[in-house]
Amino acid sequence: MITNTSISKATSSPRTDNAELEAGTSRPADSEPPPAYVPPATEPLLRRDFYSDNANQDATRRSLTRFLLALLIALGILSLVGTITGVSVGLTRPRHGHWVVKEEEWFREEQRRLSETTCSTKWDAPLDLPGERRRPHQHIQATNLPNNFPPALPALPLPIFPDLSIARPAYHSSTSFIIPRNTPQVFVHSRGASSGNITVVTDPSIQDVVIEVEVFYDSPDLLSIVRVCPVQEEDREGLMIYSSVLPRGNVKKLPVFAVLARLPLGKLEEYNEEGLAHSGTFDFETDMPFFTHTIGPLLNDVTFRSLSLSTIEAPIHVESIYAERASIVTSNAPITGTFKSSKSLRLATQKAPIIINAILEGGASSPTALDVQTHQAPLAIATTLESPGSFSITSRTYNAPIQLTFPQSSSNVPDFHPSFVEAAPSNLRFDFTLHKSSSDVGPASFSGGSNAPDDDSNPGIGAHFSFNLKDGSKVDGMMAW
């Protein structure tokens, strides 16, 4: 029995609870097995709530992000529309640094700023110009080269310069200033939103420099925010043209100026009452952004010790000038004309052609320098080497052709250094006797000697040249006749 009982126990209850085994007791045979373990009901509920909360937060974030993005896009569109339509005129920030809400406040602020200048302009009585079209600018409307250019220059078309004048200005005022002839340097500068034209001519009937200023404007209030001030410093005297900074989008309120500088005759060979030679020259300088420059035929009437013409976004045309040193600088506009120099001549612009006739006098102690440069536009330079001496000629452009010709030059040029830096074919033509020539040049063609003068004292002398190409190679040669 004992054995059978033990066997039946083993058969009927093969599994024994761990707690009972550890206690050394056994469960009765007729007892029911314990229920299976069921995890607490709160655990899956908590887990489900956790994931549900995260999903809700992500959806909220996405909705908020979409809303903010849509708001930014709407503000950007409104700002763009306001800028285009001029709605934001009153919300622009002028250079004086104060926020302006209304146009009247802008006028008062500009009047206050200009009232701090040390001068008050005395204008002539304003002229009412209803319905009359006035052109305060003297434009260059030519589509071909000027007639006084030598035929060696290529027929490059000149652009038609834009008309910067007001179509129908309502008012016009003028004033004038006299600067003594013996002033070492005469200058005309402009600052602010002014634009217009400056013309320089000679007048044999005057003894001093006379500068006349005209202003064209569309509203009487605009004259109160314009100043033309005479400025006198230790070694120079001139004019400053001040005008206010425009609010954005209101182009009609831009005054337009026309400046006329009349110069007395003055050349190097003048003599004083004692018979001693003295210089009748002076320095002349402009720094006038957005002003078209037109210089008359001054070559035989005035000699400048130094001539500096500086502007931006406006062309410069010179009929003819003679300056010991000259600097002609603009941007995005062409430079044309005839320039004579005895020491240095520099011309520079960008994205516009330079088409000039350069007359150089040879330097004895140092080379007479010609430096012409532009960018992405052609260069056409007809150079006359008027007297024997040393010369240094540099011309630079990129992605555009260069043409450098010498239609008339001295038969004795001991030292000559033309230099090119560009990425397009160039053409260099020698029509005179050279002793030495060197250059840094890209793809180029060279010719010379066909029109060279006879030189019986030095038979067989020609052009010795040395060109350093961009690929590192060097070309040496001689053009003899």
Beta carbons of 180 and 280 less than 8 angstroms apart? no
Residue type, 3: T
Q: What distance in Å separates the CA atoms of residue 11 and residue 457, rounded to the nearest whole number?
A: 143
Q: How many CA atoms lie within 13 A of 121 on its CB side?
A: 27
Beta carbons of 69 and 76 less than 8 angstroms apart? no
Q: What is the pTM of this model?
A: 0.62
User: Apex CA 315: angle with CA 359 and CA 440, to 5°?
Assistant: 50
Q: What distance in Å separates the CA atoms of residue 133 and residue 115, rounded to the nearest whole number?
A: 31
Distance of CA 365 to the CA centre of its chain: 36
* Residue for token pair 């569309």: 218
Pick the closest to residue 342 from 324, 328, 359, 326 (CA basis): 324
User: The tokens of 123 are what?
Assistant: 């204008």
Q: How do the pLDDT tens digits run along the chain, 481 residues long? A: 333 333 333 344 444 445 444 444 555 555 566 666 555 554 554 555 555 666 677 778 888 888 888 888 988 887 776 655 443 333 333 333 333 334 455 556 555 555 555 565 666 555 544 433 333 333 333 323 334 433 333 333 333 333 444 455 677 888 899 998 888 899 999 888 778 899 999 888 888 899 999 888 877 777 777 888 888 888 889 998 888 765 544 555 678 888 999 998 876 444 444 443 334 567 999 999 989 999 999 888 888 989 999 999 899 999 999 999 999 999 999 999 999 999 999 999 999 999 999 998 877 778 888 999 998 888 888 888 887 777 788 888 877 777 877 776 554 454 555 555 555 555 555 544 444 444 444 444 444 433 334 444 443 333 444 544 444 544 444 433 3
Determine the pLDDT at residue 318. Answer: 93
Beta carbons of 270 and 301 less than 8 angstroms apart? no
Beta carbons of 94 and 109 less than 8 angstroms apart? yes
Determine the pLDDT at residue 408. Answer: 62
Query: What residues form DSSP beta bridges with 427?
Result: 403, 445
DSSP 113-127: HHHTSS----PPPPE
Query: In sequence order, which residues have a C-beta less than 8 Å from that of residue 468 and are 6 or more positions away?
Result: 438, 439, 440, 441, 474
Query: Dmax of the chain from CA atoms?
Result: 165
Determine the pLDDT at residue 368. Answer: 86
